[in-house]
Structure 1
Amino acid sequence: MFAVYAAEPNPDDPLASLTIGERPEPEAPDGWVRVTVKAASLNMHDLWTLRGVGIKPERFPMILGCDGAGVLPDGTEVVLHSVIGDPAWSGDETLDPTRTLLTEKHQGTFADTVVVPARNALPKPPGLSFAEAACLGTAWLTAYRMIFVKSGLLPGQTMLVQGASGGVSTALIVLGRAAGLRVWVTGRTEDKRALATSLGAHQVFESGARLPEKVDGVFETVGKATWSHSMRALKPGGVIVVSGSTSGPDPSADLQRLFFLQLRVIGSTMGTREELGDLIRFCDIAGIRPTIGAELPMEQAKAGIEDMLAGETAGKIVFTR
């Protein structure tokens, strides 16, 4: 079958590992289902896979793609949940120490067919296109959990999103606005700030700019490049919710500010199957949709990955079959 995969780990030149070609058809073990992929979205996790981060060398070749939407053999249209844990685990599967994601142990969605546990295939609402649905399982689920599960923010409070154009950031803007929060966003360029405004941000600022007032919560995916600004932006008792550090970790935690102002720093990773179901219903009820920056045939995956590597994104990059 057709697939886009990492042939081997390449920490220094991830695109050199990218291969577009044929891979064996997957077999579905008991309790798993085959899904004909209609659309799959690109995540930073795919770049980490190409670099060999978070995946054992013996797992290669590895088909890329954490997210996807497609069709079951009986014709049911589904959205895929990429967190795969122990079936015996009870509670939040993101806390299961044996959990894994598609592309870490199991082959991913950038292919004609993917196999997942039957419980990981959730019904797709008719109102969502396959391309839109393919954005939900990682970036949008991550943003949903950051706001609604981890932050504790309430409608009317102010949230700051660091970074204006990535998949998680654009999801945070749309979901925050729909939740009744006042949404402020920083962006490196005028185009990125304009994108944030078009998605519903109430105010936009240059990266590192002094804000008109302190905020109740900061949503952090950038890391080192924005961390000190995030700490300075918070009201006493405010919260930073962190789900990534694309610019690298910050060695300075600013502990004096942290304890004196009684700030909270909360980590957040992906989300549960139940939270994905809630997110799907929220999008359907509220009429909100993922922002797709580029939609390409899967055969053109290299171009999309090059854009992500260069930071040239304006929402999610989606590959279709």
Structure 2
Amino acid sequence: MKAVFITGHGGNEVVEIGERPRPARGPGEVLVRMRAATLNRVDLYMRDSGAGITHRLPQIMGLDGAGIVEEVDASETSLSPGQRVVVHPGIACGRCEFCQRGEGVLCTSIQYLGEHRDGTLAEYVCLPATNVFPMPESLDFAEAAALGVNHLTAWRMLFTKAQLKPWETVLIFGIGGGVSLAALQLAKLAGSRAIVTSRDDPKLQRALAMGADHAINGTTQDVAREVMALTGGRGVDVVIENVGQAVWSSALKSLVRGGRIVTCGATTGDQPPADLRRIFIRQLQLFGSTLGDLDEFRHLLALTGRAALRPVIDSRYPLGDVHAALDRLEAGSQFGKIAITIDEP
């Protein structure tokens, strides 16, 4: 089968487009014929170094994806050949203490597609039936694929970790990226007030058109000062951020007393000043978060169908143009998800 895979670590020179063995389906698994996937920052990380992530080379790239069921057990009741499906990229062991209490995303031996095992940038992927869900009928394959990482991550951050309420205000850093845009969409569906930041005015204008209540340019404006002006000196209830060191101080200073900050990334560095006095005096709450559980994905998919939620797709590239797609992701100029379309074999 045709696939995108890394043969080493470096730049796009280690990313090859070629033939790989078609996966063999085992009992309890589903063979999915992929039709679309989207790129995530971890794709660049795996290409660049993959440090700290156990993997073997060559490694097929790609975390999220959507496609059509090719093969499935005859006894499977919720999936059938020809069905349009979306995948959850985290395969948990089902046996550790965290899996046993329903927190599969904390599994001690979880394996992610495109990281620990072959991923979705291929004509076929094989994974447990528990990780395969019917697609919302309102979405195309690229839009459905986008739900599997960014929207699921934002869902857990907003509703499981921060427990955002409709009357609260949320500050979302780095609008234009996939998780940030997903957080904006979900926060507005929940009825909350949303303030967004970016260093790019056109991105801020697009976010306002999508429903953001206020927009702050992090280069020309002091984020914390603007937040205080917008909230009458109170601060926001929740901060959603995946930028890390560059915005950490502003994030903490923007919170109301007892406010919550949820982080899922550190693209500008992972060692910011802790500002411990602010944290304990103002009794701030800090949460780390990654991806989401199968049940959270189920709830997200149900909401998507009811609310006509559509992930924002920045651009679409055929599988053969993956190098150009990775370049766009690395440049950080995208607004929404960069999708990879996978032709029928």
TM-score of Structure 1 vs Structure 2, range by shorter chain: over 0.9
Question: Of residues 147, 154, 168 in structure 2, which corresponds to 1:143?
Answer: 154
Alignment of 1:167-206 (within 5 A): 167-206=178-217
Q: Which residue of 2 aligns with 1:17?
A: 14
Q: SS at 2:300's partner residue?
A: helix
Q: Which residue of 2 aligns with 1:159?
A: 170
Q: SS at 1:216's partner residue?
A: strand
Q: SS at 2:24's partner residue?
A: coil
Q: Which residue of 2 aligns with 1:32?
A: 29
- 1:250 Cα deviation after fit: 3.0
Q: Which residue of 2 aligns with 1:7?
A: 7
Q: Which residue of 2 aligns with 1:122?
A: 133
Mean Cα deviation higher: 224-233 or 88-97: 88-97
Question: Of residues 58, 61, 72 in structure 2, which corresponds to 1:61?
Answer: 58
Residue segments in structure 1 that go unaligned for 5+ positions in a row: none
Mean Cα deviation higher: 130-139 or 204-213: 204-213
Contact 2:242 2:267 in 1 (8 A): yes
Alignment RMSD: 1.2
Residue 200 to residue 54, structure 1, CA distance change in 2 (3 Å): farther
- 1:145 Cα deviation after fit: 0.7
Quote the Cα distance in structure 2 between the aligned partners of 1:232 and 1:27.
52
- 1:101 Cα deviation after fit: 0.6
Quote the Cα distance in structure 1 between the aligned partners of 2:279 and 2:165.
22
Quote the Cα distance in structure 1 between the aligned partners of 2:118 and 2:25.
12
Question: Of residues 269, 272, 275 in structure 2, which corresponds to 1:251?
Answer: 272
Overall identity of the aligned pairs, in %: 40
Quote the Cα distance in structure 1 between the aligned partners of 2:51 and 2:210.
32
Residue segments in structure 2 that go unaligned for 5+ positions in a row: 71-80
Contact 1:239 1:263 in 2 (8 A): yes
Alignment of 1:237-276 (within 5 A): 237-276=258-297
- 1:283 Cα deviation after fit: 1.1
Mean Cα deviation higher: 194-203 or 258-267: 194-203
Larger Rg: 2
Alignment TM-score, normalising by the size of structure 2: 0.89
Q: SS at 1:222's partner residue?
A: coil
- 1:284 Cα deviation after fit: 1.1
Query: 2:53 corresponds to which letter in structure 1?
Result: I
Quote the Cα distance in structure 2 between the aligned partners of 1:251 and 1:166.
21
Quote the Cα distance in structure 1 between the aligned partners of 2:193 and 2:111.
35
Quote the Cα distance in structure 2 between the aligned partners of 1:302 and 1:127.
30
Q: Write the deviation string for residues 217-275 of structure 1: whole angstroms up to 9, x where unpaired.
A: 10010001110000000000000011111111133111010000000001111001111
Query: 2:328 corresponds to which letter in structure 1?
Result: D
Q: How many residues align?
A: 317
Quote the Cα distance in structure 1 between the aligned partners of 2:128 and 2:117.
11
Q: SS at 1:140's partner residue?
A: helix
Contact 1:68 1:80 in 2 (8 A): yes
- 1:100 Cα deviation after fit: 1.6
Question: Of residues 41, 44, 49 in structure 1, which corresponds to 2:41?
Answer: 44
Alignment of 1:204-223 (within 5 A): 204-207=215-218, 208-209=222-223, 210=225, 211=227, 212=229, 213=231, 214-223=235-244
- 1:285 Cα deviation after fit: 0.6
Alignment of 1:72-87 (within 5 A): 72-73=69-70, 74-87=81-94
Contact 1:65 1:103 in 2 (8 A): yes
Contact 2:94 2:104 in 1 (8 A): no
Quote the Cα distance in structure 2 between the aligned partners of 1:41 and 1:314.
13
Query: 2:4 corresponds to which letter in structure 1?
Result: V
Quote the Cα distance in structure 1 between the aligned partners of 2:301 and 2:54.
32
Quote the Cα distance in structure 2 between the aligned partners of 1:36 and 1:242.
34
Would you identify which runs of 4 or more consecutive aligned residues in structure 1 move more than 6 Å?
none
